[in-house]
Amino acid sequence: MSFNVTFHLSYRFRLLLLFTLCLTVVGWATSNYFVGAIQDIPKAKELMANFNKGIVWGKKGTVTDEASVKKADLDNCPSVSPYLKGQTKLVFKPDLTLEEVRAENPKVHRGRYHPEECRAVQRVAILIPHRHREKHLLYLLEHLHPFLQRQQLDYGIYIIHQAGNKKFNRAKLLNVGYLEALKDENWDCFIFHDVDLVPENDWNIYRCEDQPKHLVVGRNSTGYRLRYSGYFGGVTALSREQFFKVNGFSNNYWGWGGEDDDLRLRVELHRMKIIRPLPEVGKYTMIFHKRDQGNEVNIERMKLLHQVSRVWRTDGLTSCDYKLLSVDYNPLYINITVDFLSSP
């Protein structure tokens, strides 16, 4: 009997002990679980904080992106530049040097410039035929660079120099300039510019329109009046497509005169209308000079003008032959030197 009681007590004790041990193990495991959970809370907070920071950064990034998008939306330069000054009194210093002009235009590189604050409406190539006019070129560069920059243009200035002693051929040089400049850039607009004409008013915008534009309404040498009805010389603006459409200039005008009237006839044959700025805007100063040797009056010009309607398709860009001697990228301009293989 005592044995049974002892056995039952021992059995119950062992069950109680086992139950206690189980509770201890469960309690220990539960305690570790919650401690681990509590220790993980800071990590979760850190994660959420970083996530929230990520959202904030995302918002900041979004704002930046929105600003970029907004800037891109406003990236085009205004149609009217805020830097225009209007009529300017031109001064031509006798001792002016190329180094001075270069120092005044630090943002012009290899003959090209573009505004940093906005995207220009057009890419404009200025083509200047040249021979033996170094001083005139210097004066033009001095005034033309700041003039174009105030208009917020993306531009390049090309000097097309005729080598050799053949008669000067302004029109053919301009054809060369067009063809060679397009190897650099797909220019939207071309300004065909005499070296001795300097613009006085920067409201005379050097951009192309839906019609060919004649920019020289008047000059000091003519009392600021149009030289004659239908005059289309000095400085003209044609888009890439307009100039291509008329097959450029004729290549057959050797010496002075006639090539600008030929271009006007080509424009009129294609039923385009020549437009001009207001007289008070289209004003130029012509730098005085004597007639150059090799640029005598072309006595054949009237005969050639009567042939325009018959020959324009075969005489122009499509038949412009020349020998390219060099292309030099100077700080203020691109110099293209050519020799013509044929002459009258």
Q: Which of 196, 202, 261, 315 is catalytic?
A: 196
Q: Which of 132, 184, 188, 286 is catalytic?
A: 286
**Catalytic hit among 180, 260, 261, 262:** 260
Annotated catalytic residue within 8, 14, 109, 291: 291
Q: Is 194 a catalytic residue?
A: yes
The yes-or-no answer on residue 256 being catalytic is yes
For residue 242, give the 3-state DSSP assignment. helix
Q: Any bridge partners for residue 337, and if so which?
A: 161, 326
Tell me the three state secondary structure of residue 190.
strand
CA dihedral 227, 233, 234, 236 (to 10 degrees): 130
Is 40 marked active-site? Answer: no
Say which of 8, 119, 270, 289 is annotated catalytic: 289
Read off the amino acid at residue 184. Answer: D
Q: What beta strand segments (E) does 163-257 contain?
A: 189-193, 197-199, 213-214, 218-219, 235-239
The catalytically annotated residue of 154, 180, 202, 259 is: 259
Burial of 306 (0-12, 13-18, 19+ CB in 10 A): exposed
Give the active site residue among 123, 132, 227, 256. Answer: 256
Q: What is the rounded distance in angstroms from the CA atom of residue 13 to the CA atom of residue 32?
A: 28
Q: Is 289 a catalytic residue?
A: yes
Q: How many CA atoms are closer than 13 Å to the CA of 240, on its beta-carbon side?
A: 14
The catalytic residue among 194, 200, 262, 315 is 194
Torsion of CA 312, 208, 181, 324, to 10 degrees: 40
Output phi, psi for 337, to 5 deg. -110, 130
User: What's at 245, amino acid-wise?
Assistant: K
Residues forming the active site: 194, 196, 256, 259-260, 286, 289, 291
